[in-house]
C-alpha cells in the first residue's frame, strides 16, 4: 500500500471555519440588507409624497411602481393606475428616473441563499475531499482490507532478463547461488539423497556491490517468479499490519512456487530483540511472523528466501533454520573490477586504445555501482567535449571526479597559495618515492576540486594486496605527513591544507595499536571493537581510562616519528623537491612518469 500523508488539519476544522464565516456575514451584512426591505403603500400615499417632493428615485414597471424616499434609505411599492399626469408630477417633484431599483428578495429566499446554500456547498466540497483521500489510500475499503496486503513487486519469469553473465566481479557469490538455481531446476536430484535447500540465503556486503542484481540473476537463471520487497515496506503505523503483510507475501509465494522471495535491507525488520521482557510494537510482531514463516511447523516447499543487508551483526535471523547460508558479496578485486568495467563499457562507445586494466588498478576499492558511475561519467565527459567515443583520458578523469569531485575552474589561487600547494603535493610524492614498499605515484595535480581539495597525489598499486606489514603502514603514515613536512622545510610555517592528511595518519596509527596488535607495550590485545564494518566501521575502545591515555601517547609518538622521517627525507632531497615543485607549479598537473623521470635524472 502506498504511503498516504495525513492532512495537516481534520476536516471538521474547516467546517468550523466555514460556519464562523457564515455567522459573521449574517451579523454584518444581513442588517444592511434588511434596511432595504420594500414597504407596500397605497396610491394615495404615493401621490401625497409626490406633491410634498419626498420621492428620490422612481421606476415605473408594467404592473407596479417602485420608488424611494428623498435620501434613498427606504424602498416603497404601489400599484399602477391610469394616471395621465403622473409623469409631469414626478418631474415637478424632482424625482430621478435614472438607474434601477432592486427589489429585496423574500425572507425565506434570503435564508436559503445566506444559510442553506453555503452549508450545502461546504458539505459537498468536504465529501469530494474525502473521496480523493480514499482514492489515494486505495479505495473506501483500504483501511479495512488493503493495509495488510503485501506490496511486493512480482517479476514473473524474470521480466528484467538478468542472468549471471550480466553480473561480473562476484564469482564466489555466483558459485554459491548457482546451487540454488540447480535445485529449482532439478529438485528430485537433491531429494533422492535427502538434501534440502537452505530456507534462507543472506547476501552480505557493502552498499553498491550488486546484492539486488545477484538476486534477480538467480531468478533469471532459474526462470521462476521473483518477488521483490524492501524491509521498510513491512513496517506500518498500525500494530499487526506488518505481520499481516508477511503472511500475505508468503501466501502469494506458495501459490506461485517454485519461486524466489527477495527482501532488500532486511535489517529494517530483522534486528535483534532488545532486553525488554515484553514488547508489543509493530517491528517486533513483524519479526515474529517472519521467523514463524521461515522456521515454523509448515514447510515452504519451493519458496527460497533471499535477503540482503550491510548490517549482518544486528540481525536476529542468522542461525540455522532461518538463513542457513550466508553469501558474502564483497568489493571486487582487480580482476573483478576489470570484468565489471568491461560489462558497463559495452553500453557506451569507447575508443579502441582504452586500457581497462589500468582503469581497474586506478579504481582500487571501488564498488560495482561506483564503477558503473565511472563509465557513465566518462561517456558524459566525451559528449561535453564533442567526441564520438570515450577515451582513456575520459575514464581517468571520471575516476578523479568520483574520488575528489569536479574541477573548480573558477577557483583561482594566489601565487603564494599555488606555490605552497605545489610543494605540499610534491612532498607527498617525494616521501612515497624514497621509501620502499610504497605504491607508485600515478598523478599529481594542484587543480582544486569540488570536494574541497586544493590538490592531490594519486598512488596506484600494481595489484591487490590483502595484507599490510608494519613497515608498510608506517610508510603510509610518513607519506601522509609529507605534505606538512614540505611546508615546514621550505616555508618554515604550516597551513590548514594538511587537515585530511592528519586525520588519515592518526586513524592508521591508532588502528596499528588498538586493532592490529603492532604495539610493543600492548602486544596482541584487542583494545577496540568495530561494528558496521560494511558501512565504514564504527570503532569504540574497550579498555580502561588509563589504557586509553597510554594509547593516545603511543599514537602521538608514532605519528611524530614518521613526521620526523618525512622531514629528513625532504631535507636530504631538497634540490629535487624544489625542481619538482617548480615543474608542477608551471604545468599544474603531471603524470607519474614525468615525476619519476625528473627524480631519476
- Residue 2: which pLDDT band, with cuts at 50, 70 and 90? very low
Q: State the Cα–Cα distance between residues 420 and 585, nearest whole angstrom.
A: 9
Using the predicted structure, report yes or no on whether residue 153 has a pLDDT greater than 50: yes
Within a 10 A sphere around the Cβ of 492, how many other Cβ atoms?
Answer: 7
Q: Is pLDDT larger for residue 483 or for residue 37?
A: 483
Close Cβ partners of 521 (under 8 Å, ≥ 6 residues apart): 550, 554
- Residue 3: which pLDDT band, with cuts at 50, 70 and 90? very low
What average pLDDT does range 273-299 have in this prediction? 62
Q: Which residue has the cell 616521501?
A: 431
Distance of CA 377 to the CA centre of its chain: 20
Q: Which residue has the cell 421606476?
A: 59
C-alpha grid cell, residue 156: 514473473
Q: Is pLDDT larger for residue 282 or for residue 311?
A: 311
Contact 589, 425 (CB under 8 A): no
Collapsed DSSP state (helix, strand, coil) of residue 517: coil
Using the predicted structure, report yes or no on whether residue 535 has a pLDDT greater than 50: yes
Beta bridge partners of 75: 38, 68
C-alpha grid cell, residue 7: 492532512
C-alpha grid cell, residue 162: 538478468
pLDDT, tens digit, 9 for 90 and up, residues 519-529? 888 888 888 88
Give the pLDDT of residue 107.
Answer: 58
Q: Among positive and negative, which fits the CA dihedral 51, 55, 57, 59? A: negative
How does 412-435 read in b/e, with b if 16+ C-beta sit within 10 Å? ebeeeebbbbbbbbbbbbbbbbbb
Contact 67, 58 (CB under 8 A): yes
- Residue 404: which pLDDT band, with cuts at 50, 70 and 90? confident
Q: What percent of the chain has pLDDT over 90?
A: 22
Give the pLDDT of residue 5.
Answer: 41
DSSP count for the chain of H helices, then E strands: 21, 15
Q: State the Cα–Cα distance between residues 385 and 397, nearest whole angstrom.
A: 13
Q: State the Cα–Cα distance between residues 272 and 537, nearest whole angstrom.
A: 19
Q: Which of 126-135, 431-440, 557-566 has the lowest mean pLDDT?
A: 126-135
Contact 233, 266 (CB under 8 A): no
C-alpha grid cell, residue 97: 428616473
Q: Which of 126-135, 190-199, 389-398 has the lowest mean pLDDT?
A: 126-135
pLDDT, tens digit, 9 for 90 and up, residues 232-244? 776 654 455 667 7
Concatenate the DSSP letters of all residues of 297-361 into one string: SS--TTEEEEEEES-GGGBS--STTTS-EEEE-----HHHHHHHHHHHHTTS-B-TT--HHHHHH
Q: Which residue has the cell 549482518?
A: 312
Give the pLDDT of residue 151.
Answer: 53
Q: State the Cα–Cα distance between residues 477 and 475, nearest whole angstrom.
A: 5
Name which of 494, 503, 495, 499 is nearest 555 in CA terms.
503
- Residue 144: which pLDDT band, with cuts at 50, 70 and 90? very low
Catalytic residues: 425
What average pLDDT does range 293-322 have in this prediction? 71
What average pLDDT does range 446-466 have in this prediction? 80
Residue 119 Cα distances to 14, 15, 18, 20, angstroms: 12, 9, 8, 12
Give the pLDDT of residue 487.
Answer: 95
Q: Which of 120-134, 136-150, 251-265, 375-389 has the lowest mean pLDDT?
A: 136-150
pLDDT, tens digit, 9 for 90 and up, residues 547-588? 999 999 999 999 999 999 999 999 999 999 999 999 999 998
Phi and psi torsions of 321, nearest 5° = 100, -20
Q: Report the greatest alpha carbon distance in the chain.
A: 131
Q: Which residue has the cell 606538512?
A: 484
Q: Which residue has the cell 549471471?
A: 164
3-state secondary structure 431-476: HHHCCCCCCCEEEEECCCECCCCCCEEEECCCCCCCCCCHHHHHHH
Q: State the Cα–Cα distance between residues 528 and 80, nearest whole angstrom.
A: 108
Phi and psi torsions of 234, nearest 5° = -80, -25
pLDDT, tens digit, 9 for 90 and up, residues 497-516? 899 999 999 999 999 999 89
Residue 179 Cα distances to 186, 209, 218, 228, 479, angstroms: 10, 21, 10, 20, 47
What average pLDDT does range 341-369 have in this prediction? 89
Global confidence as pTM:
0.67
Q: State the Cα–Cα distance between residues 128 and 92, nearest whole angstrom.
A: 60
Q: State the Cα–Cα distance between residues 420 and 415, nearest whole angstrom.
A: 9
Name which of 489, 399, 496, 497 is nearest 446 in CA terms.
497
Helix (H) / strand (E) containing 541: strand 538-541
Give the pLDDT of residue 1.
Answer: 31
What average pLDDT does range 32-38 have in this prediction? 55
Close Cβ partners of 509 (under 8 Å, ≥ 6 residues apart): 477, 555, 558, 559
Close Cβ partners of 396 (under 8 Å, ≥ 6 residues apart): 359, 362, 443
Using the predicted structure, report yes or no on whether residue 277 has a pLDDT greater than 50: no
Give the pLDDT of residue 297.
Answer: 43
Give the pLDDT of residue 580.
Answer: 94
Give the pLDDT of residue 481.
Answer: 95
Give the pLDDT of residue 239.
Answer: 52
What's the mean per-residue pLDDT of the chain? Answer: 79
Amino acid at each position: 500500500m502506498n504511503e498516504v500523508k495525513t492532512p495537516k488539519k481534520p476536516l471538521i476544522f474547516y467546517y468550523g471555519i466555514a460556519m464562523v464565516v457564515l455567522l459573521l456575514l449574517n451579523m454584518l451584512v444581513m442588517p444592511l440588507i434588511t434596511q432595504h426591505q420594500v414597504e407596500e403603500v397605497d396610491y394615495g400615499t404615493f401621490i401625497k409624497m409626490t406633491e410634498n417632493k419626498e420621492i428620490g428615485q422612481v421606476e415605473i414597471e408594467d404592473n407596479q411602481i417602485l420608488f424611494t424616499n428623498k435620501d434613498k434609505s427606504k424602498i416603497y411599492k404601489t400599484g399602477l393606475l391610469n394616471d395621465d399626469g403622473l409623469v409631469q408630477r414626478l418631474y415637478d417633484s424632482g424625482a430621478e428616473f435614472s438607474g434601477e431599483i432592486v427589489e429585496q428578495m423574500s425572507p425565506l429566499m434570503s435564508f436559503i441563499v445566506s444559510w442553506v446554500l453555503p452549508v450545502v456547498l461546504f458539505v459537498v466540497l468536504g465529501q469530494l475531499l474525502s473521496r480523493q483521500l480514499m482514492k489515494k489510500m486505495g479505495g473506501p475499503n483500504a483501511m479495512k482490507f488493503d493495509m495488510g496486503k503485501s506490496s511486493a513487486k512480482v517479476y514473473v519469469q524474470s521480466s528484467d532478463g538478468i542472468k549471471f553473465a550480466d553480473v561480473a566481479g562476484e564469482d564466489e557469490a555466483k558459485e554459491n547461488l548457482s546451487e540454488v538455481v540447480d535445485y529449482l531446476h532439478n529438485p528430485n536430484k537433491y531429494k533422492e539423497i535427502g538434501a534440502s535447500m537452505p530456507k534462507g540465503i543472506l547476501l552480505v556486503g557493502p552498499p553498491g556491490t550488486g546484492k539486488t542484481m545477484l538476486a534477480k540473476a538467480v531468478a533469471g537463471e532459474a526462470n521462476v517468479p521473483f518477488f521483490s520487497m524492501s524491509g521498510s515496506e513491512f513496517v506500518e503505523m498500525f500494530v499487526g499490519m506488518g505481520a499481516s503483510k508477511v503472511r500475505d507475501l508468503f501466501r502469494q509465494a506458495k501459490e506461485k512456487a517454485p519461486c524466489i522471495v527477495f527482501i532488500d535491507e532486511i535489517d529494517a525488520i530483522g534486528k535483534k530483540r532488545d532486553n525488554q521482557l515484553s514488547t508489543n510494537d509493530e517491528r517486533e510482531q513483524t519479526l515474529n511472523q517472519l521467523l514463524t514463516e521461515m522456521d515454523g511447523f509448515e514447510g515452504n516447499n519451493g519458496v527460497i528466501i533471499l535477503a540482503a543487508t550491510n548490517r549482518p551483526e544486528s540481525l536476529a535471523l542468522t542461525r540455522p533454520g532461518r538463513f542457513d547460508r550466508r553469501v558474502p558479496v564483497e568489493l571486487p578485486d582487480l580482476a573483478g573490477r576489470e570484468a565489471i568495467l568491461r560489462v558497463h563499457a559495452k553500453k557506451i562507445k569507447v575508443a579502441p586504445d582504452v586500457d581497462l586494466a589500468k582503469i581497474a588498478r586506478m579504481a582500487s576499492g571501488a564498488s560495482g555501482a561506483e564503477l558503473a558511475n565511472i563509465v557513465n561519467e566518462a561517456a558524459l565527459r566525451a559528449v561535453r567535449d564533442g567526441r564520438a567515443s570515450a577515451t582513456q583520458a575520459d575514464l581517468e578523469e571520471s575516476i578523479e571526479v568520483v574520488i575528489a569531485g569536479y574541477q573548480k575552474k573558477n577557483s583561482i589561487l594566489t601565487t603564494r597559495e599555488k606555490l605552497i600547494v605545489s610543494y605540499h603535493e610534491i612532498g607527498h610524492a617525494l616521501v612515497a618515492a624514497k621509501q620502499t614498499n610504497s605504491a607508485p605515484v600515478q598523478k599529481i595535480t594542484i587543480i582544486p576540486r569540488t570536494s574541497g581539495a586544493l590538490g592531490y597525489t594519486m598512488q596506484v598499486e600494481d595489484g591487490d594486496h590483502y595484507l599490510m606489514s608494519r613497515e608498510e603502514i608506517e610508510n603510509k603514515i610518513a607519506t601522509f605527513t609529507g605534505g606538512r613536512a614540505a611546508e615546514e622545510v621550505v616555508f618554515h610555517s604550516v597551513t590548514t591544507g594538511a587537515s585530511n592528511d592528519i586525520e588519515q595518519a592518526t586513524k592508521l596509527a591508532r588502528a596499528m595499536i588498538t586493532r592490529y596488535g603492532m604495539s610493543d607495550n600492548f602486544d596482541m590485545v584487542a583494545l577496540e571493537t568495530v561494528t558496521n564494518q560494511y558501512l565504514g566501521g564504527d570503532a569504540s575502545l574497550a579498555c580502561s581510562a588509563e589504557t586509553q591515555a597510554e594509547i593516545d601517547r603511543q599514537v602521538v609518538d608514532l605519528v611524530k616519528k614518521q613526521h620526523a622521517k618525512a622531514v629528513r627525507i625532504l631535507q636530504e632531497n631538497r634540490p629535487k623537491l624544489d625542481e619538482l615543485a617548480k615543474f608542477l607549479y608551471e604545468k599544474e598537473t603531471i603524470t607519474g612518469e614525468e615525476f619519476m623521470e625528473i627524480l631519476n635524472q
